[in-house]
Structure 1
Amino acid sequence: MRVIAGLHRGRRLLGPRGQAIRPTSDRVKEALFSILGERTTGARVLDLYAGTGSIGIEALSRGATHVTFVETDREALRLVRSNLQQCNLEQFANICACQVSQFFRRGTEWSGPYDIVFCDPPYRLTPELLTLAGEWHVGWLAEDAVVVIEHSSKEHMPETLGPLSQVKRYDYGDTALTRFHLTPKEAPRA
């Protein structure tokens, strides 16, 4: 596992020992940041089910100003902390050691509003994430926020998730990325 582009390009990241954590492949990671384009520069990012932290670290390497990592697995939390230290990026990150459902309930403790939200739940938890996202408060998202969910290519994503509308789905073998934006009427007023 490595950082693909930006300030920390080529930096190796620590990966999991065993099968409990499924890191996003470099191919899918490259596709994700191609989809996001220049949005990453200056963005506040939320990395739900952060795993090793490679997506959030890639975002920081590409110019994001802050990333909030949410993860509950102890081994994954160790990897996120180690990878942030290895890249000297701790000052640009918050790590929330809790379940995503607990994080959603905290609301006001967030470092948002977020410009980019990336969700890579263990595939068995995708239905839980879809339920949670349906209850998402629009104030947690920036006006032009992008939410991307990584999931099994066999999984169907709904057209809407609460205040979010599906924009496009991208398939990469067994993995798919589905992009959502705020429905125009749901976007916060400036």
Structure 2
Amino acid sequence: MRIITGKARGLKLTVPKNMDVRPTADRVKESLFNIIGTKIIGARVLDLFAGTGNLGLEAWSRGAAAVTFIDESRESLRLVQSNISKCHAEDDVQVIKGSAVKVIESMHRQDAGFDFAFCDPPYNKGWVQKVLLKLELFPILDDGGYLIVEHAKHDEIGSLAACFELVRQETYGETLLSFIRFAKV
């Protein structure tokens, strides 16, 4: 697993020794960032279920202004911190230990706002629906911001609230990327 392009291009990231964390494959990550394009430059990014920090650090490398990583696993947070250090990204990132759905609510109380939120939770556990509900109730995505979800092809997102619009889906084997735009109603 590596940073594909940008200021940390080619840097190999620390990966887990076991399969408790499932990092986004390089080909899926490259496609995701090709779709986002230059919109990532200067963006504020939230990496929910950060795992290794792979997605957030790729965003940082490509020019995101700030990245917030959230994970509740101590081991994952150790990986994230290690990878942040490897990238020398300490000045532009924040790491929060906690459940993604609980942290969304607390960030809303702090008036946090993000242009992009990456959501790559454990597959088939209902996390995507929980995150969508929290983001509807506690909107921390800015108007026109995107929630980008990596999920199993057979793990349905379900019906979306009026504030969300599914604008694109891409399939990579058993993995599906869903691009969901937020609009304040």
Place the TM-score, normalised by the shorter chain, in its bin: over 0.9
Matched length = 183
Q: Is this contact kept in 1: 2:104–2:140, CA < 8 A?
A: no
**Relative to 1, partners in 2 of residues 1:83 and 1:157: Cα closer, same or farther, differing over 3 Å?**
same
For structure 2, the residue ranges without an aligned partner over 5 or more in a row are: none
**Relative to 1, partners in 2 of residues 1:53 and 1:161: Cα closer, same or farther, differing over 3 Å?**
farther
| Alignment partner, residue 134 of structure 1 | 133
Q: Is this contact kept in 1: 2:120–2:150, CA < 8 A?
A: yes
Amino acid aligned to 2:109: T
Q: Is this contact kept in 1: 2:124–2:155, CA < 8 A?
A: no
Relative to the length of structure 1, the TM-score reads: 0.90
For structure 1, the residue ranges without an aligned partner over 5 or more in a row are: none
| Alignment partner, residue 114 of structure 1 | 114
Q: Is this contact kept in 2: 1:115–1:141, CA < 8 A?
A: yes
Q: Deviations over 1:49-71 (max 9, x none)?
A: 00000110000000000000000
SS of residue paired to 2:148: strand
CA–CA distance in 2 between the matches of 1:139 and 1:159? 18
SS of residue paired to 1:156: coil
Q: Identity of counterpart residues, as a percentage?
A: 36
Runs of 4+ residues over 6 Å off in structure 1: none
Displacement of 1:73 after TM fit? 1.0
Q: Deviations over 1:99-134 (max 9, x none)?
A: 112202212246x31001110000133x23313312
Amino acid aligned to 1:146: Y
CA–CA distance in 2 between the matches of 1:105 and 1:141? 12
The CA RMSD over aligned residues, in Å, is 1.6
